[in-house]
Structure 1
Amino acid sequence: MMEYRKLPHGEENEVFSTLGLGMGGIQKCSEVEIEKVIRKAIDHGINFFDFCAGGRNVYVPFGRAIVGQREKVFLQLHFGAVYNSQGDYGWSRNLKQIKDTFQWELESLGIHYTDFGFLHCVDTENDLDELITSGVLDYLKELKAEGKVRHIGFSSHTPAVANGIIDTCLVDMMMFSINPAYDFEKGDEYGIGSISERAQLFRRCERDGIGISVMKPFHGGQLLDEKSSPFGKSLTRYQCIQYALDRPGVLTVVPGVRNLMDLEQLLEFSEAPASEKDYSAIGGFMEIIDTGNCVYCNHCQPCPAKIDIGLINKYYDLSLAGDKMATNHYEKLNIKADACFECGHCDSRCPFHVSQSARMKEIAEYFKTYNH
């Protein structure tokens, strides 16, 4: 079954499918097939859609597909993503062009509002300055006040810039590039930030209630082929999706599809066994992996004491980052870190060489001290 996650700063009904859909790869299909893809996605529980880099020909068939079920779906539109007369995607900081594009998007989709209005592709401080000085940010604020934009968000590839935008307290959602190559410093020019910088950003989003929608989960398809993978070894789509979903703050992953067949393959993710989603193989890929740190893959399972080792590590890391809710979540667990009897099973299985038995003792002591 499809899993759903709630937007922290959202209404009760703002609950998103963990498997979303990006429109960036489907524009070469016929309008008939595009409509079929959207209808099938919704019928199978997908309710979150991102329009970044979708062609002009995507909007009208998408609008037809959601007639009578607008309230079932959540749409992410980008203020700065524009299209030329041939329908090709580009980007702009021109306020009039952005206003005209948004009006055209609403009309083409047959809707009166978007759930998310995103500051588009904010990768440098200069990008943010341009969006502010051109009036785009103020325009988004006006639209939110009018109810035409329910939430303001942004897309970025740069942790330092993302932190600066979150500091404004204006945003509820961030779209960020997350995959093992980027997170372990083996990506391209978009894999910006050190291992620790990226991890701290995701933990901050969890702590501050900023939801994350994930772009580039497959590193542009490079991770799916050992010939193009920066690790020299490939991962599957399901491994990449699960990896992204396990990062703190992530609500949904929005891979693109090229056609109905691609969608059908993606939809099998929800029913796939845990073994097909196990991404722990990245622990043995290369020396650059940040060994000694838990990445919550749960390859150490099953624990004889029935401890959810990955989840407890996540709550610990989040609590250290200042997330008080993580401490509350830990306290509600029926089986905590102090249940560990140091059998060593997890230590022998951890692909990242974490001494989990010692870490359980450390975590148990931390929460014991924290609560006193």
Structure 2
Amino acid sequence: MRKRLLGKTGLMVSEVGFGGIPIQRVDAPTVKTILMECLRREVTFLDTARGYTTSEEMIGAAIEGHRDSFVLATKTMAKSYEDMKRDIGISLINLRTSHIELYQAHFVRNQEAYDALIQQGGYEAMLEAKREGLIGHIGITSHDHKLLEKIIEDGRFETIQFPYNLVEHQGERLFQRAHELGMGIIVMKPLAGGAISNGPLSLKYILNNPHVSVAIPGMDSPEQVSENAAMGSAELNYTEEDLKNMEVVRQEMGEHFCRRCGYCLPCPQGLDIPTLFLMEGYLKRYGLKDWAQARYGSMEIKAADCVECGICESRCPYDLPIRNMLKKVDESFK
């Protein structure tokens, strides 16, 4: 497995890492088998989150006795000082460790959320935990590349995590600038949330970007670990067949896949359109029914609130039938 530098953190990480969302749907013995396959395949970067129900706890139990072989990354949506401090403590207990290499502000969706993180003391709590040696480095994740393009100039964070794959490449300018600033770049949704079936091809595309530090496909079987890890030592030059298959994937997904570019926003009714489609993906492609329904249920404005004005469709650079897609989201969660 090749390794890459995670920016100014100084950490060397496997260029294919492990995304901890899908293990919510398997049992602890299976997670143990998966993580031992990661160890065998030298997949050393593990990413999870406080919001992934049992993911932290199962990872912590699975790697006990092998803790020093892994770089742990987790995250929280906490914004206040008290909530952030509490969540860091819970993560340490769940992961059965005295320190976490990377702690990230999770799913910072807009400027308001970012301002809350800074003004309510969440970021200060992260700095405090870093000074105390509880966390090693501080990162941020978001699905909004325009927001991250502004945030990275503040110099507060050492890493960013953002979607990137064969059909979602709106983050390339962001990655270039983050790289110039010495930041580590973590690629989430490398298979577009399970929408891309050819995992090796999408990983090859991602790893051809020299600014990327690590890609973290979600995996819930040792077989998936084996297949994805192989790309960490495979030849990355494109074949003619690769180029042809890439175009096929883009054509197939072009009519119905939201790239979360955000150009459809703001919606006059207040719908967070990209996040609504993201929740549907968790429901249908990740198979996380209860988790997705809980998160969707907590959203104040849902797909059913669409009045079909069509403004979003006039802005979409991919000509997606957003109104019809929102109807399907509404139907999916009924």
Q: CA deviation at 1:104?
A: 1.7
Task: Give the residue type in structure 2 aligned to 1:142.
Answer: E
CA deviations on 1:168-225 (whole Å, 9 max, x unpaired) are 1121111010012222xxxxxxxxxxx5xx322111122111111110111112222x
2:41 corresponds to 1:44: yes
User: 1:331 — aligned with what?
Assistant: none
Q: Taking structure 1 as reference, are residues 274 and 161 closer, same or farther at Cα in structure 2, changes over 3 Å only?
A: closer
Paired residues, number: 250
Q: How does 1:169-208 map to 2 (within 5 A)?
A: 169-183=155-169, 195=170, 198-208=171-181
Post-superposition offset of 1:100: 2.5
Question: 8 Å contact 1:7–1:15 — kept in the other structure?
Answer: yes
Match of 1:9 in 2: 8
Question: Contact conserved, 2:8 with 2:182, CA < 8 A, in 1?
Answer: yes
Asked whether the 8 Å contact 1:16–1:47 carries over to 2, the reply is yes
C-alpha change, 1:147 and 1:264, in structure 2 (3 Å) is same
Give the gaps of 5 or more residues in structure 2. Answer: 255-334
Runs of 4+ in 1 over 6 A off after TM superposition: 275-278
Identity score, percent: 23
1:128, 1:23 → 2: CA distance? 24
3-state SS in 2 of match to 1:38 = helix
1:180 maps to a residue whose letter is L
**Which residue pairs with 1:79 in the alignment?**
76
Deviation at 1:143, TM superposition (A): 1.0
Kindly indicate whether the alpha-carbon contact (under 8 Å) linking 2:28 and 2:62 is maintained by their aligned counterparts in 1.
no
TM-score, normalised relative to structure 1:
0.61
- Judge which range, 42-51 or 273-282, deviates more: 273-282
C-alpha distance in structure 2 between counterparts of 1:8 and 1:55, whole Å: 26
Choose 41-50 or 162-171, whichever is displaced more.
162-171
| Aligned equivalent of 2:231 | 269
In 1, distance between residues paired with 2:165 and 2:50? 19
- Provide closer, same or farther for how the CA distance between residues 279 and 138 of structure 1 changes in structure 2, counting only shifts above 3 A: farther
Cα drift, residue 153 of structure 1: 0.7
Greater relative CO, 1 or 2 (CA 8 Å, sep 6+) = 2
2:102 is equivalent to residue 129 of structure 1:
no
Bigger CA radius of gyration: 1
Q: Give the superposed CA RMSD.
A: 2.5
Aligned to 1:349: none
1:152 aligns with 2:138: yes
Contact 2:4 2:13 in 1 (8 A): yes
Q: Which runs of 5+ in 1 are unaligned?
A: 81-91, 184-194, 225-235, 290-372
The whole-number CA distance in structure 1 between the counterparts of 2:51 and 2:114 is: 23
